[in-house]
Chain A
Amino acid sequence: MAQVLLKNVCKRYGEVTAVRDVSLAIEDRQFCVLVGPSGCGKTTTLRMIAGLEDITEGEIWVGERVVNYVHPKDRDIAMVFQNYALYPHMTVEENMGFGLRVRRFPKDEIKQRTDEAAGVLDIMQYLDRTPRELSGGQKQRVAVGRAIVRKPKVFLFDEPLSNLDAKLRVQMRAQLKKLHERLQTTIVYVTHDQVEAMTLGDIIVVMKDGVIQQVGEPLTVYDNPCNRFVAGFIGTPPMNFIEVTVRRSGGAVVLDEGGFSVTLPPVLAAKAAAYDGKPATLGIRPEHIHDKATYTGAANAGNTVEAGVDVVELLGNEKHLHLAAGSSMFVAVVDAHIAAHAGRKLPVVFDMDKVHLFDKETENAVF
């Protein structure tokens, strides 16, 4: 039985449709991440689950019942906000216990739950401070603590790490992951940061313009994006897109950029055959473009490209090479010690087994 179920959910504000026909089943104890650019509808969807927005069409189930018209406080959910939303005039302890106090839980149970949550989040020493005296990371932990004491069926997170600085974000990510393992509760998490999505989610839901683009495990979505948007959104640095024409040449299928061409391996060639003569988009991830000189695999005319180096970015552990070939620009991620200089030529090898092809009109992935 799915813990959270969305059936054809729509949200309209007058003329504008923010969420369009979203259907999603989130299993019990799953960490589900809704990810996408600003305005894609992920936050609206989350707020509809929480009950902070009305549902224009469709049904939302939490546990065993429809919650469309159930008050947020009765939905058995808890929410962590981007700006923490801590009551400024109450101490940490009071903040965490407030929801329980309102529900008239006995005092000792409140204390017990609060202490337990504080222990888990390592904020015991802040219990009698006010939010003003805490740092961003500490406040965020208090916000999480407030959600934990409620022991809800589902945790909802609305971009909780967006307001933290980069270093803190990395720390908190790890903590959240550990927390999930410890709590064993369903989590629905919204973020625009695909790194958070990849590292935290059991399943990720990529959304754009109110529509779900793809649902799946992170690695699946990474390796097999179903359309150009997902392919370009997930992964850093983003996938390279090169406009090509598909051509049959002899028994092989070739992707012709105009300035250079690469040959598809037989498995993929079969799938691309239908596009003979048509334009398409070639997608290849930066880490699948290798320096020919140090490439250990087979390099031949079918997968080698003579590129010119435009910019070299040294990151310490790797180099990002901005290359140009034909009339296309693309980025390769190589080992930091590869010799490459701006303005010079560098032959590179495309790993053709890992290549993707996208239909030019529909932008769906052919493979």
Chain B
Amino acid sequence: MADTNMMRRLKRRKMLRQAANLVLLYGGMTALAVILIIPFLWTLSTSLKHPAEVFAFPPRFIPQQIHWRNYADAWMRVPFGRYFINSIIVSCSVTLGQVFTSALAAFAFARLDFPGRNKLFLGYLGTMMIPGQVTMIPVFIVCKQLNLIDTYAALILPGLFSAYGTFMLRQFFLTIPKDLEEAAIIDGLNYWQIFTHVIVPLSKPALFTLGTFVFLGAWNDFMWPLIVTNADSMKTLPVGLAAFQGQYSTDWTLLMAGSVIVLTPVLLLYIVNQRFITKGFVMSGLKG
């Protein structure tokens, strides 16, 4: 009798303690999340303000008047619209191209037997160690000599091949059970058909993850487009935005509108695929 009362009291105390811990935990995590989101919110808020409000003190998150015009201005005037289109063209082309060439090469390395295969693959792995800064100067020179500066070719072609993508897909292809391909061989498929009918359908998640990564990388790429474009009409969004900053360094509302334009596709892509993306980042890290 006394025992059950004590038990009940102890249990209640424990539950209270656990509830308190939970409140603290969620409170802390939420506070951190809010702090992290503030810069994004500030970007959005600034993009909708009147220029005079940008540095008002004390700072306000909600603009007095919402200036949608800023976006129209950014799109037309700057012209972020042009940059946006360039980024789309370049990012999509690079994504499709890189995934395709990497898949082909990964299939060759994983399943086809040819002389020098392993040595060549080690060579590929080796190039992953070379920082881009070493190769960018000669590639730039070549582009310049071939008059490819300020062309889509210069923006897209170097990005069509990736040792990393090849490596990742090869590791994945190796996990596909071999007897499926053998059944296909006996059924009479040639290697191209095996690639398209067996390997590709089974690799959809891996291809998709790689594609997302490549797209993100191409969309966010700054240094190479910077080097290879001078004309305003050919700049991609990141470069265009940076250049714009040089020109209109105090026009913060337009700059922030531009930032929102750059950020939005990325954030959308991320929210939709976040599990793929975070998993991919981790795998690329730990297994690299």
Chains A and B directly touch (beta carbon < 8 Å):
yes
Known: A88-B201, A102-B193. A83 touches B177 (CB 8 A): yes
Neighbouring A residues of B185 by C-beta, 8 Å: 51-52, 72-73
Query: At the interface, yes or no: B202 with Cβ under 8 Å from chain A?
Result: yes
Query: Which one of A82, A83, A85, A103 has the highest number of Cβ atoms from chain B below 10 Å of its Cβ?
Result: A85
Considering the chains assembled together, what is the distance between the CA atoms of A72 and B186 in angstroms? 5
Query: At the interface, yes or no: A344 with Cβ under 8 Å from chain B?
Result: no
Query: Could you jot down 28 A-B contacts, CB within 8 Å?
Result: A50-B186, A51-B185, A51-B186, A52-B182, A52-B185, A72-B186, A73-B185, A73-B187, A73-B189, A77-B186, A78-B186, A79-B183, A81-B179, A83-B177, A83-B179, A85-B180, A86-B183, A87-B183, A87-B184, A87-B198, A88-B202, A89-B202, A99-B186, A99-B187, A99-B188, A102-B189, A102-B193, A146-B187
Closest to A147 in B: B186
Shortest CB-to-CB span from B226 to chain A, Å, is 43
Could you list which residues of chain A lie within 8 angstroms of chain B, going by C-beta atoms? 50-52, 72-73, 77-79, 81-83, 85-89, 98-99, 102-103, 146
Per-residue CB contact flags for chain B residues 217-239 toward chain A (1 = under 8 Å, else 0) read 00000000000000000000000
Considering the chains assembled together, what is the distance between the CA atoms of A171 and B273 in angstroms? 46
Contact of B182 among A81, A89, A98 (CB under 8 A): A81
Query: At the interface, yes or no: B197 with Cβ under 8 Å from chain A?
Result: yes
Contact of B179 among A73, A85, A89 (CB under 8 A): A85
Per-residue CB contact flags for chain B residues 23-51 toward chain A (1 = under 8 Å, else 0) read 00000000000000000000000000000
Considering the chains assembled together, what is the distance between the CA atoms of A79 and B180 in angstroms? 11
Considering the chains assembled together, what is the distance between the CA atoms of A50 and B182 in angstroms? 10
Contact of B188 among A52, A103, A146 (CB under 8 A): A103
Shortest CB-to-CB span from A152 to chain B, Å, is 9
Per-residue CB contact flags for chain B residues 200-218 toward chain A (1 = under 8 Å, else 0) read 0110000000000000000
A85 engages B183 (CB within 8 Å): yes
Neighbouring A residues of B183 by C-beta, 8 Å: 79, 81, 85-87, 146
Considering the chains assembled together, what is the distance between the CA atoms of A83 and B178 in angstroms? 10
Neighbouring B residues of A88 by C-beta, 8 Å: 201-202
Neighbouring B residues of A79 by C-beta, 8 Å: 182-183, 186
Given A88-B202, A99-B187, list of 15 further CB < 8 A pairs? A50-B182, A52-B182, A77-B186, A78-B186, A79-B182, A82-B179, A83-B179, A85-B177, A85-B182, A85-B183, A88-B201, A89-B202, A102-B188, A102-B189, A146-B183
Shortest CB-to-CB span from B208 to chain A, Å, is 15
Shortest CB-to-CB span from A209 to chain B, Å, is 24
- Complex interface residues of chain B between 149 and 202 (CB less than 8 A to chain A): 177, 179-180, 182-189, 193, 197-198, 201-202
Neighbouring A residues of B187 by C-beta, 8 Å: 73, 98-99, 102, 146
